[in-house]
Amino acid sequence: MEKKNYIYEKNNPDDVIWWVEDVDSIGKMMFTFDKKKIFNIFEDYPHNLTEEQKRIFDKENPYWAEFLKDRS
């Protein structure tokens, strides 16, 4: 399996969510809770998140929660 080149960044030091940059791709909006399972915001939100993950995501990212509210 090919190893991906990811850069992990948090919006705020106290956040749970890491935003993931795939240096080999352009235009993907990805995030992770544990640096193991990576979610694509446009493919996975909210249906592939647990209730707890969605709650955390919405709290830490109110802009995206509002933007994607029609999906809930």
Beta bridge partners of 66: none
Q: Residue 25's pLDDT is what? A: 82
Q: Residue 1's pLDDT is what? A: 42
Q: Residue 3's pLDDT is what? A: 57
Cβ-count burial of 63 within 10 angstroms (0-12 exposed, 13-18 middle, 19+ buried)?
Answer: exposed
* Spans of the chain below 70 pLDDT: 1-3, 72
Entry pTM: 0.87
Element (H, E) at 54: helix 51-60
Q: Residue 2's pLDDT is what? A: 53
